[in-house]
Amino acid sequence: CLTQLEAKFFLEEEQKGSWEEGTVINISRKGMGIKFHTHKKINTGSIIHLAIIVSGEPDPIMTKGALEWIKQKENYFIGGIELTEELDDDKWDKLC
């Protein structure tokens, strides 16, 4: 489904990585398209942890996956993540 959900992310390989801003722009059961609001290049294969903010939900929806592709746009990056675990019905219903 196409969406515009605020998200925070960090890279697993960074020992003291801080949460950075992003936007989830589309979702499937096995993957997500993400707009990364960062100037830092993220390498394909990186494991990305996501906290997706859903209005009406007290806690963010947590998931993670491997970056399959990434492209640089004007002042951000856009990429595709293959999720480590397929979204269950509960998470899917909240996100889409």
pTM (two decimals): 0.90
8 A C-beta contact, residue 42 and residue 70: yes
Name the token pair of 92.
Answer: 């899917």
Predicted confidence at residue 12, as pLDDT, reads: 86
CA atoms within 13 Å, Cβ hemisphere of 51: 12
Of 49, 41, 40, nearest in space to 13 by CA: 49
pLDDT digits (tens, 9 = 90+) for 28-73: 999 999 999 987 778 999 999 999 999 999 999 999 999 999 999 8
CB count within 10 Å of CB 35 equals 17
8 A C-beta contact, residue 20 and residue 8: yes
Predicted confidence at residue 3, as pLDDT, reads: 93
